[in-house]
Structure 1
């Protein structure tokens, strides 16, 4: 039976993270942060546009039903 305690799991995870951070350059980190911000902002704006269009379509349909 293979038993691995929590300290071994934590040490392995922490060592992996340290290795990843040691190999990432500052330029890559900055580029990733900028791309994440642009992606988040564009996703937010697309959501607002879709919500606006849905509200407009609902208003047009409700006005047509009144006639």
Structure 2
């Protein structure tokens, strides 16, 4: 009977350690999910800014130099 009690105590102790490890892993996963969401938002913002600044290619030969003036 004493041997069974010792085995049960060992299993309970191991279970406590496993539960702690699972909680720590869960916290890490939640943190990573938050970081991924933040990075996705930032990436969308960068894409939007890039698209706003992207213009059709210009033909430099067709443009007047700035010193020619518009008058």
TM score, norm. by length of structure 2: 0.57
Moved runs in structure 1, 4+ residues, more than 6 A? Answer: none
Partner Cα distance (1:36, 1:54) in 2: 27
**In terms of Rg, which structure is larger?**
2
Q: Deviations over 1:7-65 (max 9, x none)?
A: xxxxxxxxxxxxxxx58622112101111101100111111111111110110110111
Give 1 or 2: higher helix fraction.
1
CA RMSD of superposed structures (Å): 1.8
State the partner residue of 1:47.
26
1:30 aligns with 2:5: no
Question: How many residues in Structure 1 have an aligned counterpart in Structure 2?
Answer: 46
Q: Which runs of 5+ in 1 are unaligned?
A: 1-21
Partner Cα distance (2:13, 2:19) in 1: 10
